[in-house]
Structure 1
Amino acid sequence: MPPRQPRDQSRSTGGPPQRRVGGPAQPAHRAPLSHITTVGVRRPGYGSSGRQVPINVNFFTVDSIPDGSIYHYDVISAGKNMPIAMNMRIIEALQDHVAPSIFADTRVVFDGRKNLFAPSKLELGGDSREFDVTLSAAPTNPDKPPRIYKVRLAYAAKISTEILHRFIAEQQSQDNAVSTALMALNVVLRMEPSQRFPTKGRSFFTPEGARLIGAGLELRRGYFQSIRPAIGRMLINVDISTGVMYQPGPLIDLCMSFLGITGRNMLRAAIPDRKRLALGRFIAGVRVQTRTAAQVQTGTRGDQGTPRVIRKLSTQGANQLSFVLRGGQTKTVAQYFQETSGRPLQFPGLLCVEVGQGGALIPLELCTVLSGQLVKKEIPDDKKTQLVQFATMRPKERLDSIRKGLQVLAYGQSEYVRKFGLTVDPTLLTTQARVLDAPTLQYGSMGNPRAATVNPRNGSWNMADKRLFRPATIQAWVFIIFESFERFEDQVAQGVARDFVKGIRSTGMTVVDPNPVVRRVNGQGNIPRELQAAGDQCFAEKEVPPTLFVVVLPEGGNDIYIIVKHWGDVTKGVATQCLKAPKCTGANMQFWANVALKVNVKLDGINVITEHGLLSDPQKPTIVMGADVMHPSPGTTGRPSFAAVVSSVDSYAAKYVADQRVQASRQELITDLKEMSVYLLGKYMLYRESIEKVQPSLRAPKRLIFYRDGVSEGQFQQVLDQELPLIKAACEELNINPTITLFVVGKRHHVRLFPMNEKDADPKSGNLPAGTVVDRDIGHPTEFDFFLQSHAGILGTSRPAHYSVLYDENDLTADTIQALSFALCHVYARSTRSVSIPAPVYYADTVCARAKIHFDPSSRQEWSDSGATDVSESLETFKQKYLPPHPKQRLRMYFAVRVF
C-alpha cells in the first residue's frame, strides 16, 4: 500500500498534528541498529508460514505526537494513602481555584498518585512550590473549619518527545525516559474520562446498561485504552472492559442483597455471627453519604459534604448500642438520632456502621452507597458465572462496541488531548495475519496404522477410531458413592459403572476386573477412614490393591472433593476420579471417553503426542518447562503465593511432572526456582534412562524450552536477572549444559483479532480460526514478540496469547517458535481441542490452583470468604502446613484437572 496523503484534519480526533507517526504498510524486517539495546531477544525476522488472512485489530493509529517536551512533576501531599478520586479533586481545585494564574495557559494531567505532567513548564518560582488547597464542598460540621490539604509540586524531569519518534523508528533503546514518556501520554488519554466515570487502571466504566446481580453487586461495561509503541507507529489499544461495583442506593438494600434476604426487619443484630462477619468484611471501605431520620422519611437529600468510609459493622442494633456523650450522659444510637432529627428510626433494631476516622456510629438506614464504587475483593463463586455471561460478547458485537467507544472517548473533544498535541486516526487498524497449519497428532491405532494420526481442523479433532498413544491398565477399582440413594439408586450406579468400563476400554485402556468394590459413604462422616476401608476391602476381595478410586459427588460437594483429592494425592498416593452425579447419570460414550483422557494420564499413560520435529529430534533431546505463580485473591491478607513449575519427561513433551512451593505473598519471581529445576531435570533424566531406555549419553536434555506465565512487561528484566540464572545454576549443579530458550506468555492484555471477511471466520463463533498468528504492525518496535490465537473460540471473542522471547541460545526462527508454541497447545491431556496457551503453562496454572488440596482439610482455615480473611499466619507456618504429593503421585499427572 503506498503512503497516504496527509489526512483532512476534520476526520482526525485530537489537536493539531506536530509530526505524523503512522505510516505505510509494514516494511520488510530490518535488524535494529547495533547500539540499540533490548530487554529480550531482538526480532530475527517475521514469520512466513501459513495462509494469509486480512484482519482488524482493536487499535487506532496516533497520527501525530507533539514535537517538543513534556514536563514531569512529582506531587507530594501530606495526606497519605488517600483515594485516587480525592487526590484528583485536590489537583482540580489547585488548578481552578488556588493557583489559576499558574495554569491559565495549560492544563496538567495527573495519575492520581504522584505523577503530574504539563505540556509547558509551570511558573512555580523555582523547582518546587507548596500550596494550601481547600475543597469547595461544604464541611460536614459548620463549627469546624474546612480541612486544608498541603500539596507540593516538585519539578522532576523534562521529557523530549523526540525519543518516542526515535523509539518507534528502531533508533532508540527503551529506557526510563521512553517509559516515562509513554506513561505521560497514557495519563493524558485517561484524564478526561477519569473526571467523569469510575476508573480502574486504564479502564473506565459508564452507567449505561448496568446490571444488578445480587449479593450487593452491580456489573458495568466500560472501555480500556492504552497507548503503546509498535513497529513504525504509535497505537492506541481500545477494548471493552467489565467492572464490578457495589450496589448503589440505600446501604440497607445492599446488605439485604448480600445476605440474600427480603424484608428489612430481617436485617437485625440476631443474624448469625458468620454472616454478620462476612457482611462486615464486604462493606468495609465502602463510601456512603449520610442522612438524618427525618430526611430519610421525607425523601430529601442528605449531607452533600465529604463522603464517609465504612470501617466496620456493629454487633448490636441501634436501640441497644450505646455511647457516652461529652457531658457524660449515656444514650443509645436510636435515642440520639431521634432527638437530633425529631423523628424516630424506622428500623431501630438494625445494625449500625462505624464511619470515618472518629468511628462515628450511623444506623444502616441513614446511609446511602455512592454510585460507581469498584469492588476490590473477590466476588462469590456463584456470581462469577453471571460476570462471565455479562462480559461475553461475540466478535462482531465487540467490534461494533469498540467503534462506538471512540465516540465516548472523544479524543478530539478532550481539552487535555488537544493541549498535548495528540491526534488520533478514527479508522480501525488492519493488518495481515497468518493461519498456521495444525500439527499432526499421533494416537495408538485400532489395527489400522493410518488411523493413528490426526490432523486437527480449527483446533479440534475426533478420536472415535483411535486408541490412546500409551494406554494405562486398571487392575482393580473402587466405586465410592456420596450421593444419596434416592438420587442415585443401585440400578443407576450399576449403569454408571458399566458405562465407565465401556468408555475406558473404548480408548484402548485395559480394565482387568470390570466389577468394582462399591461402597456408599456418608459425606458427613470420616471420609478418609471410609476410603481406606474401601481400599482394604478391594485388596481382601481382589488380592490386588485398587488402581483407581472413582467417586460420585452430590451437588455442592466441593468440600468432599477437597478431602478426596487430599487423601488420594497427598496421603495415600492413589489415583482418584471424581464425577458429579447429575452429569454421569445416563451419560453418552463421548462423556466417558473424556473421562478416560483424565484417568489415563493419572495412571502414568500418555494420551497423544505431536510430531513436531524440534520436540522429537533424537540427537537433540528437548525438555519443555512451564512456570506460573498464583497470588491471593484481591482483598485477601495473610495468605502466601504459590509457585509451580512443570516439565516434560518423555521424548515427545507429552508427559509432565510438577513441583510446587509456597512463597511470600504477592511475590511474582519464583524464589526456589533453582531447587525446583534441579528436581524436574533429574526426573527427566531418570525417566529417559529407566523408562525410555535411551543411551546414557542422550539422557540429559540438549535443549531447554522454558515458558513463563504471569509476568508483566515491567518484570522482564527481573526474570532475566534473577530467574534465568537459577535455571542455569540448576543445570550446572547437575553437570548438564542445554541451550536455553525462555519465553514469557501472557493473557492479561486487551488485544483482540477480528476477521475482515466472513469466509475467514468460524461460522459458529465468528472468531478467527485456531492458529492465527500476528507478528507485524502491532508488535514491539525492536523485540521479538507475536500474538498467537491457538484455540477455536466457542463463546465470546477469543483472546490471543502474547509471546515475548526473552532469551534464546537455540537461534530459533520466528516460524519455528510459532509452530512449536502452536504444537504444544495440542497436547493438553484432558482435551481433544487445542488450548489457548502451551500445555506446560496450562499445567503450571492448574498446579497453582490446586494448592488448597495440599493443606490438611481437617484443620485448614476457610480459604475464601468474599475474598477477605483475618488470618495472618507466618510464611514459615504455611510452608510447614503445606504437604507435598505422595511419592507415588509425583511422577503422575495428578494435576491434569483443575479443582472445582
Structure 2
Amino acid sequence: MRALLEPYCARPLSAVDLVSGAPPASQCHRAYTRTLNTDEITSYLQGEDRDFNIDPVLSALNLVLRTQALRRGAVPVGQNKYFFLTTERARLSAGLEARRGYFMSVRPTFDTLMVNVNTSFAAFYDRSMSGPLDEVLTRHHPNDLRQLLPGLKVFTTHLGYKRAYKVFALGTQTAAQAQFKWNKTGRNISVKDFFKQGSAEYGITLRRPDLPVINVGSRQRAQDIPPELCTVPENQTFKSRLNTEATRSMINIACNPPATNANFITGEGLPLLQLSENPPSNSALESFGLSVSQQMAVVPARILDPPRLQYSTGRPAVRDGGWNIMGGTKFRRGGDMRNWAVLVVREERTEEFLGRNEANLNSFVQAFKDKCKLSGMIVAETLPPIEKTPVLPYDRREAVNIIRNKLEAIGRNKPSFVLVLLYREDDYIYPGIKNLCDRVLGLQTVCMLLKKATKGRVDQYFANVALKVNTKLRGVNHVLEENTNPWLKNTMLVGIDVTHPSPGSMKGAPSIAGVVANTDSDFANFPVSFRLQVNRNINKDAQEMVEGLTEMMVERLQAYKEANPSTPPGKVIIYRDGVSEGQYKLLLQDELPKILEAFRRMKVKPKLSIIVCGKRHHARFPGTSKDNTVANGNTTPGTVVDQGVTDIYNHDFYLQVSASRPQEQNIV
C-alpha cells in the first residue's frame, strides 16, 4: 500500500544528483544539475499541466528515500528494493535462503504525492556460502555448487590489493591438475606450481591443491583461481534461476494474507525504512523537509458482478472468482478424443503402479476417460494404447532420448494428443517432452503428475485436466451467457507480449514476441503468431517494442476473416503486457502505427482500444471489512479501484480478478 508523502514547501528542494538507484555517496560523482522547486509540480498534481516532466522530481525524491534506507543499513536489490539483516529468513534449498524486504517508491496521484511501500522477497546466499571459498566448497555437494557458484561475487588479496571477481563456473580439475600455457616459458604449468614458483611476487604454497579451481573468466577464456585465495562476502543475492524445490518454497514463503503484509509494512517496514511524520534530526528526510504519514491511504472501490456462463448442460455458480464443472456439467462443445494415447514415464521406485499392479494403470486411464466423457467429450469405448518407458537413467539427456523414441513410435498413429504420466517433477524431463513434441514431433501433449492425480480430490483433478484437453482438441469449455455483453459482438480480442531470455540462458539468446487473437465469437480459440526479436543486448531501446508487429497482426486478421468471411471485426481490443510506464509514449509512437498499417493492408476500419496490463506492480489493497473480502483475506473478485491512487492523466485502474490464494508478493 501507499503512505502519504507530504512535500514541505517552505523552501525548494536542494540540488540533487538525479540518478535513480545511485551508488553509495562515497562512490557518487557530485555535480550540480539543477534546482527542483516543489511549487512547479503543484499544477501537475492538480491535473492542470500534463506536459510537465515530473520524472526528475520523482528521481530526486526516490534518491532521498534510498539514502535514508542505506543509512539504516539496508542492502539494496534491483531498483527500489531494500533488505535488512534483522528481517525474517527462511531456508529455500542448499546454500540459499529467502529474505523479506521492502519496495519503496514515490508515486504521483491527484493533488498529492504518495510512497508506495510493499513487502518484497529475494533469494540470498545463506551464511554457509560466505567466508573463505575453500571452506564453502567443503560444506556443499559438488552438484549443488554447480548451481550455486555461477554469478557469485568473490574477492582476492594475494596481489597486495583487493580485487573483485564474478564466478563463471566450478572447474572440473583441481589446482594440481589444471594446467595452462605460461607465456614466460612457452610450456604448460599447473595452477598449483604457478602460484608456488611461477611468479616471484606470489610464492604461495597452496594448502588445498586437491580442491577444484574456480573459473572467473568465461567459457572461451578460462581464468582459474585456487579457491583458498578467494573470499566470499556476505549478503549476496542469488540471481540465477531457482530450481523447482526452491521455487516452490519461495512461493509458499511469499504468499501471505493481505492483513499480514499490511502489518509487516506498518509494524516493521516503515520503522526500518525510517519513514516518519517526524523524521529524526540529520536524517535524509529531515534534511529535505519531507515527512511520510504512518497511515495507509483509504481509497474507494466498487465490485463488478460475476460473469454468467453457459455450458451445454448445467450452470455452475461463480463464486469468489472461480467455479468447477462437477455435478454433471458438460462442456459447451466437446472435443473429439477418440484417437489418443498414453505414455507412462517411469522413474526409479515406481513399480507400485506397474508390473503386477498394471491393472491399477488401466483403472486410472479408464477413470480419466470416463470423466472426459461425462464432461461432454467424444470418447471411444476402448482404452487408448498405453506405452511405458523403461526406468529412466540418471543421465537426463539419455533419459530424454529414450522418451523421444517412445513418442516417435506413438506419433506414427497420429493421435490427437498424448497423455503423459509423470511420477515426479523434474527440471529436464518436462521441458524436454514439451520441446520434443511442440517443436520437433508435432504432437499435442497433456502431462499429469501422478502424485497429485492419485491422491486427494482425484475427480476434481481430472476435471481440471479435462478442461485443458478439450481446449487443445478445439472444443469450447464455456461461453458468456447471451446478451451478457452485447458490445462484444464482432470483437477481436488480441494479446501481445514479449518473452525475454531467463537468467542462465545461453548468451545471445533472442527474445520472442507473440500475438494471439480469437477467431470465433465464443472467444475460445486463440491461434498465435510469433517472431524472434533482436537480442536485447544489441538494441536495448527496442527490447520491449515488438518487431514484425504489422505482419503478425495481418496474420491474425486473415485468420479472423477466414473464420468469419462475411463479418469483419468491428472492434479490436488489444491487451498489451510487459510495457513499463516509461514506455507508454514509445508504444504509441512505435506500435500503434504498425497496428494501423495492418488494418490498412486488410482493408478494415475497426474501433481500436489498447489496454496495457501490468501484473507486477506493488499496489496492494487489504479490505477494510469482512464484507468486502473472501475467506483467505483477499478483496472480493471483481473489485475495481479507479480513484485515489491511480494516475492523474491516464485512464488506469486496478482489478482484483481472482481470490484463489493469498497475495503473492514481489519476488526478485
TM-score bracket, normalised by the shorter chain, equals 0.7 to 0.9
- What is the CA–CA distance in structure 2 between the aligned matches of 1:510 and 1:327, rounded to whole Å? 77
Aligned partner (choices 186, 201, 212) of residue 351 of structure 1 = 212
Aligned partner (choices 46, 64, 68) of residue 12 of structure 2 = 68
Aligned residue number for residue 224 of structure 1: 103
- What is the CA–CA distance in structure 2 between the aligned matches of 1:480 and 1:316, rounded to whole Å? 41
Contact 2:196/2:203, CA 8 A, preserved across alignment: no
Structure 2: which amino acid aligns with 1:317? T
Shift of 1:316: 4.4
Aligned residue number for residue 735 of structure 1: 603
Aligned residue number for residue 207 of structure 1: 85
Structure 2: which amino acid aligns with 1:233? T
- What is the CA–CA distance in structure 2 between the aligned matches of 1:617 and 1:444, rounded to whole Å? 23
Q: Secondary structure at the match of 1:159?
A: coil
Aligned partner (choices 90, 112, 116) of residue 233 of structure 1 = 112
**Structure 1: 5+ residue runs without aligned partners?**
1-57, 76-82, 92-150, 262-266, 293-302, 446-450, 539-544, 690-695, 800-866, 868-900
* 2:383 is aligned with 1:501: no
Contact 2:573/2:608, CA 8 A, preserved across alignment: yes
- What is the CA–CA distance in structure 2 between the aligned matches of 1:454 and 1:502, rounded to whole Å? 20
Q: Secondary structure at the match of 1:744?
A: strand
Q: Describe the shift of the 1:610–1:188 C-alpha distance in structure 2 as closer, same or farther (beyond 3 A).
A: same
Aligned partner (choices 249, 256, 271) of residue 131 of structure 2 = 249
Bigger mean CA offset, 196-205 vs 305-314: 305-314
**Structure 2: 5+ residue runs without aligned partners?**
393-398, 537-542
Contact 2:217/2:224, CA 8 A, preserved across alignment: no
Aligned partner (choices 781, 795, 807) of residue 648 of structure 2 = 781
- What is the CA–CA distance in structure 2 between the aligned matches of 1:591 and 1:502, rounded to whole Å? 13
Q: Describe the shift of the 1:635–1:531 C-alpha distance in structure 2 as closer, same or farther (beyond 3 A).
A: closer
Aligned residue number for residue 396 of structure 2: none
Aligned partner (choices 74, 78, 86) of residue 197 of structure 1 = 74
Q: Describe the shift of the 1:180–1:350 C-alpha distance in structure 2 as closer, same or farther (beyond 3 A).
A: same
Aligned residue number for residue 826 of structure 1: none
Shift of 1:739: 0.4
- What is the CA–CA distance in structure 2 between the aligned matches of 1:581 and 1:660, rounded to whole Å? 33
Contact 1:168/1:232, CA 8 A, preserved across alignment: yes
- What is the CA–CA distance in structure 2 between the aligned matches of 1:772 and 1:760, rounded to whole Å? 9
Q: Describe the shift of the 1:365–1:226 C-alpha distance in structure 2 as closer, same or farther (beyond 3 A).
A: same
Shift of 1:204: 0.9
Q: What whole-Å deviation, never above 9, does each CA across 1:334-369 have from its counterpart, x for those lacking one? A: 7479x9999965533123447799x99753234332
Q: Describe the shift of the 1:793–1:552 C-alpha distance in structure 2 as closer, same or farther (beyond 3 A).
A: closer
Q: Describe the shift of the 1:581–1:187 C-alpha distance in structure 2 as closer, same or farther (beyond 3 A).
A: same
Aligned partner (choices 90, 109, 121) of residue 27 of structure 2 = 90
Contact 2:22/2:63, CA 8 A, preserved across alignment: no
Contact 1:479/1:549, CA 8 A, preserved across alignment: yes
Aligned partner (choices 544, 553, 572) of residue 422 of structure 2 = 553
Aligned residue number for residue 264 of structure 2: 401
* 2:662 is aligned with 1:790: no
Structure 1: which amino acid aligns with 2:559? K
Structure 1: which amino acid aligns with 2:340? W
Q: What whole-Å deviation, never above 9, does each CA across 1:734-789 have from its counterpart, x for those lacking one? A: 111100000101012111110122343222x1111111111111011122111011
What are the equivalent positions in structure 2 for 1:244-643 lying under 5 Å apart?
244-246=123-125, 247-256=129-138, 260-261=140-141, 281-283=150-152, 286-288=153-155, 290=157, 306=162, 308-310=164-166, 316-319=173-176, 332=193, 335=196, 346-353=207-214, 363-404=226-267, 405-411=269-275, 412-413=279-280, 415-445=283-313, 451=314, 453-464=315-326, 465-483=328-346, 486-489=351-354, 490-522=358-390, 524=399, 527-536=403-412, 546-556=415-425, 559-566=428-435, 568-571=437-440, 573-585=442-454, 588-611=458-481, 616-617=486-487, 620-634=489-503, 636=505, 637-643=507-513
Q: Secondary structure at the match of 1:643?
A: strand
Q: Describe the shift of the 1:613–1:658 C-alpha distance in structure 2 as closer, same or farther (beyond 3 A).
A: farther
Aligned residue number for residue 179 of structure 1: 55
- What is the CA–CA distance in structure 1 between the aligned matches of 2:246 and 2:352, rounded to whole Å? 27
Q: Percent identity?
A: 30
Aligned residue number for residue 12 of structure 1: none
- What is the CA–CA distance in structure 2 between the aligned matches of 1:501 and 1:361, rounded to whole Å? 57
Q: Describe the shift of the 1:482–1:69 C-alpha distance in structure 2 as closer, same or farther (beyond 3 A).
A: closer
Shift of 1:462: 2.9
Q: What whole-Å deviation, never above 9, does each CA across 1:475-507 have from its counterpart, x for those lacking one? A: 232222222672432212111121011110111
- What is the CA–CA distance in structure 1 between the aligned matches of 2:22 and 2:530, rounded to whole Å? 37
- What is the CA–CA distance in structure 2 between the aligned matches of 1:595 and 1:189, rounded to whole Å? 48
Report the TM-score when normalising by structure 1.
0.63
Q: Which of the two has higher C-alpha Rg?
A: 1
Q: Describe the shift of the 1:614–1:336 C-alpha distance in structure 2 as closer, same or farther (beyond 3 A).
A: farther
- What is the CA–CA distance in structure 1 between the aligned matches of 2:252 and 2:471, rounded to whole Å? 32
Aligned residue number for residue 59 of structure 1: 2
Q: What whole-Å deviation, never above 9, does each CA across 1:656-691 have from its counterpart, x for those lacking one? A: 2212221122311110111111111111122234xx
Bigger mean CA offset, 663-672 vs 482-491: 482-491
Q: Secondary structure at the match of 1:753?
A: coil
Q: Secondary structure at the match of 2:74?
A: coil
Shift of 1:430: 1.1
Aligned residue number for residue 395 of structure 2: none
Bigger mean CA offset, 390-399 vs 728-737: 390-399
In angstroms, what is the RMSD of aligned CA positions? 3.6
Structure 2: which amino acid aligns with 1:406? L
Aligned residue number for residue 673 of structure 1: 549
- What is the CA–CA distance in structure 2 between the aligned matches of 1:554 and 1:735, rounded to whole Å? 52
- What is the CA–CA distance in structure 2 between the aligned matches of 1:245 and 1:700, rounded to whole Å? 53
Contact 2:151/2:167, CA 8 A, preserved across alignment: no
Q: What whole-Å deviation, never above 9, does each CA across 1:180-221 have from its counterpart, x for those lacking one? A: 111111111111223422102101111123345344333322
Q: Describe the shift of the 1:306–1:277 C-alpha distance in structure 2 as closer, same or farther (beyond 3 A).
A: same
- What is the CA–CA distance in structure 1 between the aligned matches of 2:249 and 2:410, rounded to whole Å? 40
Contact 2:132/2:232, CA 8 A, preserved across alignment: yes
Report the TM-score when normalising by structure 2.
0.84
- What is the CA–CA distance in structure 2 between the aligned matches of 1:360 and 1:567, rounded to whole Å? 36
Q: What whole-Å deviation, never above 9, does each CA across 1:287-334 have from its counterpart, x for those lacking one? A: 336589xxxxxxxxxx9x746324555564344568979999987267
Q: Describe the shift of the 1:674–1:560 C-alpha distance in structure 2 as closer, same or farther (beyond 3 A).
A: same
Structure 2: which amino acid aligns with 1:169? Q
- What is the CA–CA distance in structure 1 between the aligned matches of 2:647 and 2:27, rounded to whole Å? 37
Bigger mean CA offset, 247-256 vs 341-350: 341-350
- What is the CA–CA distance in structure 2 between the aligned matches of 1:610 and 1:533, rounded to whole Å? 41
- What is the CA–CA distance in structure 2 between the aligned matches of 1:187 and 1:406, rounded to whole Å? 17
Bigger mean CA offset, 342-351 vs 59-68: 342-351
Structure 1: which amino acid aligns with 2:572? L
Q: Describe the shift of the 1:728–1:254 C-alpha distance in structure 2 as closer, same or farther (beyond 3 A).
A: farther
- What is the CA–CA distance in structure 2 between the aligned matches of 1:320 and 1:546, rounded to whole Å? 53
Q: What whole-Å deviation, never above 9, does each CA across 1:235-262 have from its counterpart, x for those lacking one? A: 00111111222333332354456xx42x
- What is the CA–CA distance in structure 1 between the aligned matches of 2:417 and 2:613, rounded to whole Å? 35
Aligned residue number for residue 33 of structure 2: 156
- What is the CA–CA distance in structure 2 between the aligned matches of 1:597 and 1:276, rounded to whole Å? 41
Aligned residue number for residue 539 of structure 2: none
Q: Describe the shift of the 1:353–1:509 C-alpha distance in structure 2 as closer, same or farther (beyond 3 A).
A: closer
Structure 2: which amino acid aligns with 1:408? L
Bigger mean CA offset, 746-755 vs 561-570: 561-570
- What is the CA–CA distance in structure 1 between the aligned matches of 2:242 and 2:645, rounded to whole Å? 34
Bigger mean CA offset, 679-688 vs 471-480: 471-480
Contact 1:231/1:776, CA 8 A, preserved across alignment: no
Q: What whole-Å deviation, never above 9, does each CA across 1:622-666 have from its counterpart, x for those lacking one? A: 111111111112354311111111111111323222122211223
Structure 1: which amino acid aligns with 2:255? T
Shift of 1:429: 1.2
- What is the CA–CA distance in structure 2 between the aligned matches of 1:575 and 1:361, rounded to whole Å? 46
- What is the CA–CA distance in structure 1 between the aligned matches of 2:417 and 2:17, rounded to whole Å? 65
